[in-house]
Amino acid sequence: MFAFLMTLYFYFRSPEAVRSKGGSLLPPRVAGPESPFRGDSRSDSEENPLSKVAEENIKSLVDPVAGEVGRSAAPAGDEIREIRAKAEEKIRAGEYETALRLLRGVADKAPGLLSDIGFLHLLLENDDMAIRYLEDAMHHNHNGNDFLAQKGLAVAYYRKGNIEKSLFHAERGLSLRGDPELQTLYDRIRKEQSVHRGFVDESTLHFKIVFDGHEHGGVSRKILGILEDAYRQVGHDLNHYPDELVTVVLYTNRDFHDITQAPEWAGGFYDGRIKVPVKGIEGKEEEVRRVLFHEYVHAMVHSIVGGNVRSLPLWINEGLAEYYSARHGRKIGQVVPLTSLDRSFAWLNERADIAYLESYSAVAYLMDTHRAYRMKDFLFSYAKGHDINKAFAEAFSITYNEFIATWGKN
């Protein structure tokens, strides 16, 4: 099952099939050299040049392994094999929680399933649970010589922002086996450690901001204030507040592009942590506010939808982020078929701004007509794995297919 899980994981994480992890990236439209942010804010979900970098980064951290993962010891017994086969059927049907329940129900009889469960949580981006089960898998291995568990833990801790533990498991994994993807993660962590040396952090009840005190000491309080505004406004509308601190890392422009490998015009990056290049804020607070609100919405959507965010239509995720960034002064109809905006905007190339404006317009229609609490109902229903037509109809009294076939065409 390992092989199947990881093949499935990388199908959804590949640039060709990627759906939003937490938002998108802007098209190549630069705000100007005087701006503290290069362009507007997008994160790493769609297949444009920056999202390709982000996807390759994530993929390079965990890409193994489809063939190797299945080499873990298979549990014995007809009952276990039957349950494992049923779990695989549920995974193929997209019923991940059902698959987890099946596997957890017999894990005490077959410790070899612990890694399967851990990697399934990794697929769903339930990193805390992935860590729990992968560490249990190593415990049952006694000597800890489980390369794939070490690699999975390195990835999970990296996505959690715990680069020290990620580095520990990356080093342990590389001591067991040479692996180019894990080596990529190891090198990236060492680079981040070098850049972050001397960084300081400030925290509120809801955010932790990490920054170079010399470069950004004068703006950290203002940025925390803007983030708290986003927390209150978006949280009030959607009646949801993330359980964990949201981490925001401030970089110089050079370090931002060095760490993220983002193109020069990129203004923000979300990979579980909000990363932004900042040169200053004086006189540019509204632009900074748009960027941070946009990125925070992506973090919020990810907090609600979890691993299902990969299959959430991109125009919904992006449209919601654009709605709260308050960037647009006008609305348009369905100029581009919404069906072509569910996974990527990249095919529009330099016309990608149309996709963002249309996504904003469609979401603004839903928010203004049905109110924010209906959008919240949709997201929470979708998070439970409900069919998108069912979740959409329950929230907006129209199926998803009916909406995309009719909205904005008159």
Within this chain, do residues 215 and 308 fall inside the same structural domain, yes or no? yes
Instruction: Mark whether 174 and 275 lie in a shared domain.
Output: no
Of residues 278 and 17, the one with the higher pLDDT is: 278
Indicate the pLDDT class of residue 49, thresholds 50, 70 and 90. Answer: very low
Does residue 84 fall inside a structural domain? yes
Picking from 123, 146, 178, the residue at the C-terminal end of a domain is: 178
The answer to the question of residue 186 being in a domain is: no
Q: Which one, of 158, 131, 193, lies nearest residue 272 by Cα?
A: 158
Residues 206 and 349 in one domain: yes
CATH number of the structural domain spanning residue 94: 1.25.40.10
Residue 20 has pLDDT above 60, yes or no: no
Asked if pLDDT for residue 13 goes beyond 60, the answer is: no
Amino acid 67: pLDDT: 35
**Mean pLDDT across the stretch 212-221?**
77
Average pLDDT of the segment spanning 121-147: 83
Range scoring the smallest mean pLDDT among 54-63, 148-157, 161-170, 179-188: 54-63
φ, ψ (nearest 5 deg) of residue 131: -60, -45
Query: Are both 35 and 152 inside the same structural domain?
Result: no
Task: Give the residue numbers spanning the domain of 172.
Answer: 65-178
In a domain, 279, yes or no: yes
- 279-314 pLDDT per residue, tens: 766 667 888 899 899 999 999 999 998 878 888 999
Of the pLDDT bands very low, low, confident and very high (cuts 50, 70, 90), residue 372 is very high
Band (pLDDT 50/70/90 cuts) for residue 261 is confident
Q: Is 22 inside a domain boundary?
A: yes
The answer to which of 42-56, 191-205, 248-262, 328-342 has the lowest mean pLDDT is 42-56
Q: What is the CATH classification number for the domain harbouring 280?
A: 1.10.390
Task: For residue 19, name the pLDDT band (cuts at 50, 70, 90).
Answer: very low
Q: Indicate if 52 and 74 belong to the same structural domain.
A: no
What total number of domains does the chain contain?
2
**Strand 207-212 relative to strand 274-277, pairing:** unpaired
Cα gap 134→122, rounded to integer Å: 10
Kindly state whether residue 156 falls inside one of the protein's structural domains: yes
Contact 271, 159 (CB under 8 A): yes
Residue 34: predicted pLDDT: 30
Residue scoring higher pLDDT (395 or 244): 395
- 345: in domain: yes
Domain stop point among 117, 146, 178: 178
| pLDDT reported for residue 56 | 39
pLDDT value for 52: 37
In this structure, the answer to whether residues 116 and 22 fall within a common structural domain is no
- What is the rounded distance in angstroms from the CA atom of residue 219 to the CA atom of residue 211? 10
- The whole-number average pLDDT for the span 38-44 is 39
- Judge if 41 and 81 occupy the same domain: no
Verify that 69 and 41 share a domain, yes or no: no
Region 396-410: mean pLDDT is 94
Percent of the chain with pLDDT over 90: 36
In a domain, 72, yes or no: yes
Short-list 190, 222, 196, CA closest to 210 = 196
Same domain, residue pair 106 and 228? no
- One domain for residues 159 and 308: no
Picking from 178, 212, 243, the residue at the C-terminal end of a domain is 178
Query: Could you tell me if 237 and 384 lie in one domain?
Result: yes
Has residue 188 been placed in a domain?
no
38 and 145 co-located in one domain = no
- Residue-by-residue DSSP string for 78-140: HHHHHHHHHHHHHHHTT-HHHHHHHHHHHTTT-TTHHHHHHHHHHHTT-HHHHHHHHHHHHHH
